[in-house]
Amino acid sequence: MGKDKTAKKKNLLRSGLSVNIIGAIVILLVLFGVISSAIGLVSFTNAFKREYSTTTYHMADTAATLVKGDHLSEYVDGAYAYEYQQTRAYLDAYCKKIRVSLIYVIQVDRSDYGRFVSVFNLVDNTVDDTEYTAWEPGYKRDTTNDEYRQKYKAIYEQSSEYETVYRIKTTDGQHPHITTMVPVKDSSDEVCAILCIQRPVRELYDARRPYLINIAISTVLLAVAVSVFAGFFIRKQFVLPVQQVSDEATRFARENTQGEPLGNISRFEVISNLAHSIDTLERDMCSYVDNLTAVTAEKERIGAELSLASTIQDNSVPNVFPAFPGRDDFDIYASMTPAREVGGDFYNFFLIDDDHLAIVIGDVSGKGIPAALFMMVTNILITDRTKMGGTPEQILDYVNENICAHNKADMFVTVWLGILQLSTGKLTAANAGHEYPVLRTGGGAYELVRDKHGFVVGGMETTRYKGYEMTLQPGSSLFLYTDGVPEASDKENRLFGVGRMLEVLNADPGASPEKVLSGMSAAIEEYAGGAEQFDDITMLCIEYKGSSEGKENA
Amino acid sequence: MLNITKTAEGKKFCFALDGSLNTNTADEFEKQLREILPEAEELYIDLKDLTYISSAGLRVLLSAQKQMSRQGVMKVKNAGGFILETFEITGFTEILDLE
């Protein structure tokens, strides 16, 4: 039902467009025909009138030579009767020969040209089916109107060779005609009378009718031809292609899928271009959308993977505190804040046995996923090797050799590794290019321990590490960190610095490890003032409280 | 952030670094180094105007040092202040030829 309606609507629209275009063309053509035939008719009529009056003038001029002007007044009185009859016979013959309605010669009263006297008057009613009666010689009459008066005057004064009065549209029932008047002269070349010829103009109508009919027929034929042309050509090359483009655009807007290309659907360049544009638009839009979908999916996938990776990394180090709720001889706390989802920093701590706690902090060169992969490997190597026993330097030597063996990317990691004997407080440690640890001994202040430094792990396989020893008194705290702490920066890119770090630590030296870390985080955040941190920030703090046995002894 | 001035003289190359050699700028420095490393016999890196170096920067120096150790000499000049401190902490003083 619905589809039917849409199809009907479409057909209506389609035929509507055709009818509009064809209708407009037909109207324009008819208008053109009317205007051009009107112009043609006017110039035809003018030319006809000019030509007609010229030939009539020649007739009148010839007739005037038949009339001898010397005795005109005498003719009226009956004198020179033979000459009069002879002239009249010539004129009568001439009148019938040239097929005009009237030939007459009049003498006009020259005082105001308001009256005239008829001299000759020849009638031929057969020419135009008229019913004129001839005026007798001497018949007097008033001039018909001012136009005649003007023209009589012009002839008498010889200001023109001849004059013509047109009566083409008559209202008084007279037959349409023209009257051409020429002067009749006497032997002294003076104008003594006017000869007039009245000639019907039926021929003008007879000529105009076929002209008008021809124009009308050719206009109709042209209109029909153009309509047929429009019906086939315009419909095929214009209306249907436009409808096709419109349909395709509507379909694309609704379905957003690439359709069959429209191709070259019209001879009209504009429509063809439009169709090509629609094709290109569809292709580009679809590939853009596909691309966008793929990119978005890829981004989502990477995001999901990164989020999972972040969880895995967080859980690859001990992150539940208190970490050793059953032990009161030490308290340890650590935090790891990557600059991106995953980072290259790490820390670790675990009991090797009941009396030995291993503490590790490290920083892989670079950031993000490569650093995170490297960090995981390093952490596992260190942890496994440490659990097998040995000194920190032996452990780092082993880890370094193993990493160097497969390190194509020239990445490296700084590591500080310490093993604390919990019963005695003896700390053995080795530093592979890591930041100096900070130690607070007993009730004193936090101070930097400028310990022995080796080269970074993974840099050179020939590196051999040297360890060192120190003893932590009960109540001592050790603060370990990565370079993200001293190199945290504010909006002007000024570094937080080791000095400020020590100041923050010593502001409340007796704070618990958890408090130390939260205080440092807050201080860094305040210093940064909203500036984005580009490095991972990792901290670890252990407070050695002394062995329970020792305490009991004390 | 980092201006790198490169001068070349046959197989002797000198890079003067001005600014901060960090994660964002280390790639560009590494790219420029890689272009010349295959043919370099002498490599000088002037750190007089370098204000900061991160581990990413250290990695580039380490890579260059490893390759130059096999085919010629590499010297790091005018490392001072924060840069020298970083070299000391990370143990780079042991493997770099500083002057």
DSSP secondary structure, A381-431, as one string: HHHHHHHT---HHHHHHHHHHHHHHT-TT---EEEEEEEEETTTTEEEEEE
pLDDT band at A392 (very low <50, low <70, confident <90, very high): very high
- Considering the domain architecture, whether residues A461 and A523 belong to the same structural domain is answered as yes
Instruction: Give the tens place of pLDDT for each residue, A288-307.
Output: 989 999 999 999 999 999 99
Chain B environment of A411 (Cβ under 8 Å): 59
d(CA B36, nearest CA chain A) in Å: 18
Distance, in Å, from the CA atom of A246 to the CA atom of A225, rounded to the nearest integer, reads 29
Across the range A429-436, mean pLDDT stands at 94
- Considering the domain architecture, whether residues A330 and A287 belong to the same structural domain is answered as no
Instruction: Give the tens place of pLDDT for each residue, A230-282.
Output: 778 877 888 788 888 888 888 888 888 888 888 887 778 888 888 888 889 88
Residue A486 lies in a domain: yes
**Is residue A25 within 8 Å of residue A231, measured between CB atoms?**
no
Across the range A365-377, mean pLDDT stands at 89
Chain A environment of B63 (Cβ under 8 Å): 410
d(CA A387, nearest CA chain B) in Å: 26
Pairing mode of beta strands B42-53, B12-21 = parallel
- ipTM of the complex as predicted: 0.87
Which residues are B53's β-sheet partners? B21
Chain-chain contact of A366 with B94 (C-beta, under 8 angstroms): no
Residue A2 lies in a domain: no
Q: How many CB atoms lie within 10 A of CB A137?
A: 18
Residue A16 lies in a domain: no
Residue of B nearest to A497 (CA): B82
Structure tokens at B28: 């560009």
Residue with tokens 């009317």: A34
Give the domain range for residue A521: 322-553
- Considering the domain architecture, whether residues A442 and A543 belong to the same structural domain is answered as yes
pLDDT band at A553 (very low <50, low <70, confident <90, very high): very low
Res A197 pLDDT > 50: yes
Taking CA A36 as the corner, what is the angle to CA A32 and CA A38, rounded to the nearest 5 degrees?
Answer: 120
Least confidently predicted of A14-23, B3-12, B31-40 = A14-23
Interface contact A464, partner B, CB < 8 A: no
pLDDT for residue A332? 96
Least confidently predicted of A26-30, B18-22, B72-76 = A26-30
Q: Count Cβ neighbours within 10 Å for each residue of B85-95 and write b for 16 or more, e otherwise.
A: ebbbbbbbbbb
Q: How far is CA A19 from CA A11, A218, A231, A536, in A?
A: 12, 22, 9, 75
**Is residue A268 within 8 Å of residue A238, measured between CB atoms?**
yes
- Considering the domain architecture, whether residues A473 and A534 belong to the same structural domain is answered as yes
Distance, in Å, from the CA atom of A277 to the CA atom of A132, rounded to the nearest integer, reads 81
Distance, in Å, from the CA atom of B21 to the CA atom of A486, rounded to the nearest integer, reads 16
Mean of pLDDT over chain A: 87
Q: How far is CA A339 from CA A345, A372, A483, A522, in A?
A: 10, 12, 12, 16
3 state DSSP class of A255: helix
Give the domain range for residue B33: 2-95
- Considering the domain architecture, whether residues A302 and A371 belong to the same structural domain is answered as no
A298, A315, A332: which is the final residue of a domain?
A315
Chain A environment of B94 (Cβ under 8 Å): 454-455, 463
Distance, in Å, from the CA atom of A160 to the CA atom of A435, rounded to the nearest integer, reads 130
Distance, in Å, from the CA atom of A524 to the CA atom of B33, rounded to the nearest integer, reads 35
Residue of B nearest to A368 (CA): B23
Distance of CA A119 to the CA centre of its chain: 90
User: CATH number of the domain that B24 lies in?
Assistant: 3.30.750.24
Q: Count Cβ neighbours within 10 Å for each residue of A184-216 and write b for 16 or more, e otherwise.
A: bbeeeeebbbbbbbbbbbeebeeeeeeeeeebe
pLDDT for residue A516? 95
Chain-chain contact of B95 with A455 (C-beta, under 8 angstroms): yes
Interface contact A435, partner B, CB < 8 A: yes
Interface contact A453, partner B, CB < 8 A: yes
- Considering the domain architecture, whether residues A124 and A68 belong to the same structural domain is answered as yes
Considering only the beta carbons, identify the residue of A363, A453, A459 that sits closest to B62.
A459
Share of chain A above pLDDT 90, in %: 42
Q: Count Cβ neighbours within 10 Å for each residue of B11-38 and write b for 16 or more, e otherwise.
A: eebbbbbbebbbbebbeebbeebeeebe
User: CATH number of the domain that A176 lies in?
Assistant: 3.30.450.20
Res A312 pLDDT > 80: yes
pLDDT for residue A13? 58
- Work out the burial of residue A88: count CB atoms within 10 Å of its CB; fewer than 13 is exposed, 13-18 middle, 19 or more buried: buried
Sheet bearing B42-53, strands edge to edge: B2-9, B12-21, B42-53, B73-77
pLDDT for residue A167? 84
What's the predicted TM-score (pTM) here?
0.61
Q: Give a three-class secondary structure readout of A210-241.
A: HHHHHHHHHHHHHHHHHHHHHHHHHHHHHHHH
pLDDT band at A20 (very low <50, low <70, confident <90, very high): confident
Q: How far is CA A18 from CA A36, A461, B1, B20, in A?
A: 27, 87, 68, 73
- Considering the domain architecture, whether residues A346 and A266 belong to the same structural domain is answered as no
- Considering the domain architecture, whether residues A297 and A356 belong to the same structural domain is answered as no
pLDDT for residue A48? 83
Chain-chain contact of A364 with B94 (C-beta, under 8 angstroms): no
Interface size between A and B, measured as CB pairs under 8 A: 68
Nearest to A49 by CA among A195, A162, A145, A167: A167
Distance, in Å, from the CA atom of A193 to the CA atom of A117, rounded to the nearest integer, reads 10
Considering only the beta carbons, identify the residue of A367, A436, A463 that sits closest to B89.
A436
**Is residue A343 within 8 Å of residue A367, measured between CB atoms?**
yes
Residue of B nearest to A483 (CA): B54
Winning range, highest mean pLDDT, from A127-136, A200-209, A304-313, A391-400: A391-400
Which residues are A336's β-sheet partners? A538
User: CATH number of the domain that A446 lies in?
Assistant: 3.60.40.10
Is the link from the previous residue into A513 a cis peptide, with omega within 30 of 0?
A: no
**Is residue B82 within 8 Å of residue B58, measured between CB atoms?**
no
pLDDT for residue A143? 86
**Dihedral sign, Cα of residue A457, residue A460, residue A461, residue A463:** negative
pLDDT band at A535 (very low <50, low <70, confident <90, very high): confident
Res A4 pLDDT > 60: no
Distance of CA A517 to the CA centre of its chain: 58
3 state DSSP class of A441: coil
Mutate: best of A412, A436, A490, A532, partner B, most B CBs <10 A: A412
Structure tokens at A129: 């089916």
Res A407 pLDDT > 60: yes
pLDDT for residue A354? 92
Distance, in Å, from the CA atom of A21 to the CA atom of A332, rounded to the nearest integer, reads 90
- Considering the domain architecture, whether residues A309 and A337 belong to the same structural domain is answered as no
**φ/ψ (deg, to 5) at A45:** -60, -45
Distance, in Å, from the CA atom of A241 to the CA atom of A522, rounded to the nearest integer, reads 70
| Domains: count for chain B | 1
Q: Which residue numbers of B have CB closer than 8 Å to A's CBs?
A: 20, 22-24, 52, 54-56, 58-59, 62-63, 66, 82, 88-92, 94-95
Q: Which element (helix H / strand E) includes B34?
A: helix B23-36
Residue at A256: amino acid letter: N
pLDDT for residue A551? 47
pLDDT for residue A229? 79
Which residues are A431's β-sheet partners? A416, A453
Chain B environment of A434 (Cβ under 8 Å): 89-90
Distance, in Å, from the CA atom of A316 to the CA atom of A327, rounded to the nearest integer, reads 22
Distance, in Å, from the CA atom of A250 to the CA atom of A315, rounded to the nearest integer, reads 55
Res A408 pLDDT > 90: no
DSSP secondary structure, A525-548, as one string: HHHHTTPPP-S-EEEEEEEE---H
Chain-chain contact of A453 with B88 (C-beta, under 8 angstroms): yes
d(CA B92, nearest CA chain A) in Å: 6
- Considering the domain architecture, whether residues A429 and A472 belong to the same structural domain is answered as yes
d(CA B55, nearest CA chain A) in Å: 5
Helices (H), A200-318: 202-229, 240-255, 269-314
Res A550 pLDDT > 50: no
Across the range A138-143, mean pLDDT stands at 88
| Domains: count for chain A | 3
What's the number of CA atoms in the CB half-sphere (13 Å) around residue A368? 7
N- to C-terminal Cα separation, chain A = 100
